[in-house]
């Protein structure tokens, strides 16, 4: 940690994925760099989001595997859950990765200031913390303050046993029942954690299908699996208030003009996040703020929007309405993806140093670690329909894939969307085992403008799950090998 020392070439406010990567990239460019962070390095992702949730999901997956092991000839007896050790595993993961970020910044020569950063003027940041009260100046400033949990604006949402996503990661008991408001990534991932540990889970979704940002066939498969495990899904369910019901909680929701209710030990609000701009002084120095966050040039929008993505994204500079101030990550959209924040950080720093920078927002993958996993990139099938695009779609079921059969993980499919005529790959969705790893190939295809023919000529190792993607491509070309032609 540092107490600050005069003027810097680049100052970064926020030490999450966008912030620390911005600091590291600036240091690589021989800039004198300061990073201001009032909480833990690594931000929400490492401490309260991506990493801890995946650690818990891994524990849940191991439990599920043990419970099903006898079908593979492996008998596991006296299976039990030790919550304390589950939390210890999660905490070890966090500690290791946060420590690693600190080491990287130290080795890169970045001055890390432990305190809250606030604009004193457009080039000066006042930093205040328990052991620090100083200010620094910088030629260029990167704002990467991230986001924070947005609790529902519902009467009773601030009561006891109404959890945020942060609370859901810190459990010291397994509730017998839980109501989850929202079926997005956070809601579905937490549903999978708790349902594996034996909680009776009910999801309330205000739209007419779950996973509203995904294609309906994807959402349908995920929810069929969820229901097989004992979960309950209520669609078109707009929660209007939360009440106490003895020792339980009651969620009151409206559907078709009728009020309905469901009770549970715990209610989890998983409806999103908001840009963290509190006490930043952004507007005082001329930064324009809209509902979702800080405005940047090129009108950056998230690829996870419920609206079709727009091909308007190459060459963005991530510059705010103040020329020498840039913003990246969740603070410009309220909710985002850690990997996108990192790439925006690199682009913003390079732009601040007069370099060309490009981000293709159509080539940003999304990953949902529920069961089965969901990963997608680019223009999905329902986007293409809404946009009126003439496309070909290829789809291949995991049930016909040799590796999937061998590991008894036959749920899922790979789907590819391409422009008719040119065969240029526009997007893809893969749902099933380890699909969050498989999406990289299709992300690269969208990024470089690859065609179906390019992918068809690419040899995929056998037996692998990636062959499902290859077969989906062949299906889009009208010549599938391992399913009958339609």
Residues involved in catalysis: 462
User: Helices 435-448 and 467-476 meet at what angle, rounded to 10?
Assistant: 50
C-alpha span between 340 and 189 (Å, rounded): 20
- Categorise residue 419: left if φ over 0, alpha if ψ from -120 to 50, beta otherwise: beta
Residue 320 CB neighbours (<10 A): 24
Strands of 330-442, DSSP E: 366-368, 373-378, 391-397, 413-419, 425-432
Cis peptide before 463 (omega within 30 of 0): yes
**Could you say which DSSP state residue 319 is in?**
B
Q: What is the enclosing helix (H) or strand (E) of 137?
A: strand 132-143
- 3 state DSSP class of 111: strand
Question: Between β-strands 132-143 and 124-129, what pairing exists: parallel, antiparallel or unpaired?
Answer: antiparallel
C-alpha span between 351 and 304 (Å, rounded): 25
Cβ contacts of residue 450 below 8 Å, gap of 6+?
424, 425, 444
Shortest CA distance to 473 belongs to which of 434, 423, 421, 435?
A: 423
């Amino acid at each position: 940690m540092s107490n600050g020392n005069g003027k810097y070439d680049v100052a970064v406010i926020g030490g999450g994925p966008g912030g620390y990567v911005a600091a590291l990239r600036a240091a690589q460019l021989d800039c004198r760099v300061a990073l201001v962070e009032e909480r833990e390095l690594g931000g929400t992702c490492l401490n309260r989001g991506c990493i801890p949730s995946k650690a818990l999901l891994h524990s849940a997956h191991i439990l599920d595997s043990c419970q099903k092991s006898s079908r593979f000839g492996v008998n596991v007896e006296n299976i039990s859950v030790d919550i304390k050790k589950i939390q210890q595993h999660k905490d070890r993961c966090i500690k290791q990765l946060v420590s690693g970020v600190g080491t990287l910044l130290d080795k890169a020569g970045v001055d890390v200031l432990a305190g809250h950063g606030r604009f004193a003027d457009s080039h000066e940041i006042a930093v205040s913390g328990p052991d620090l009260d100083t200010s620094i100046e910088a030629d260029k400033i990167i704002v990467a303050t991230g986001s924070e949990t947005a609790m529902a604006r519902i009467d009773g949402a601030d009561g006891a046993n109404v959890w945020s996503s942060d609370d859901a990661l810190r459990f010291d008991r397994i509730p017998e029942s839980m109501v989850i408001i929202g079926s997005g990534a956070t809601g579905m991932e937490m549903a999978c954690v708790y349902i594996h540990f034996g909680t009776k889970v009910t999801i309330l979704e205000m739209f007419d299908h779950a996973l509203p940002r995904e294609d309906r066939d994807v959402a349908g498969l995920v929810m069929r699996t969820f229901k097989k495990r004992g979960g309950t899904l209520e669609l078109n369910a707009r929660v209007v208030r939360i009440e106490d019901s003895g020792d339980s909680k009651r969620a009151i929701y409206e559907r078709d003009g009728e009020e309905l209710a469901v009770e549970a030990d715990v209610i989890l609000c998983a409806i999103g996040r908001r840009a963290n701009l509190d006490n930043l002084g952004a507007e005082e120095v001329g930064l324009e703020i809209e509902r979702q966050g800080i405005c940047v040039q090129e009108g950056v929008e998230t690829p996870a929007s419920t609206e079709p993505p727009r091909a308007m994204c190459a060459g963005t500079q991530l510059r705010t309405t103040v020329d020498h101030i840039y913003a990246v990550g969740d603070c410009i959209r309220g909710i985002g993806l850690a990997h996108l924040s990192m790439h925006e950080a690199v682009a913003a720093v390079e732009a601040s140093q007069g370099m060309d920078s490009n981000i293709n927002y159509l080539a940003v993958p999304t990953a949902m670690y529920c069961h089965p996993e969901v990963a997608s990139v680019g223009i999905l099938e329902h986007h293409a329909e809404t946009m009126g695009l003439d496309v070909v779609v290829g789809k291949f079921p995991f049930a016909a894939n040799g590796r999937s059969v061998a590991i008894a993980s036959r749920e899922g499919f790979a789907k590819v969307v391409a422009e008719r005529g040119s065969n240029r790959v526009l997007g893809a969705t893969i749902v099933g085992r380890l699909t969050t790893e498989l999406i990289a190939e299709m992300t690269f295809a969208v990024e470089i403008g690859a065609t179906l023919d390019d992918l068809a000529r690419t040899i995929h190792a056998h037996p692998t799950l990636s062959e499902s993607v290859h077969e989906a491509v062949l299906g889009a070309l009208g010549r599938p090998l391992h399913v009958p032609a339609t």
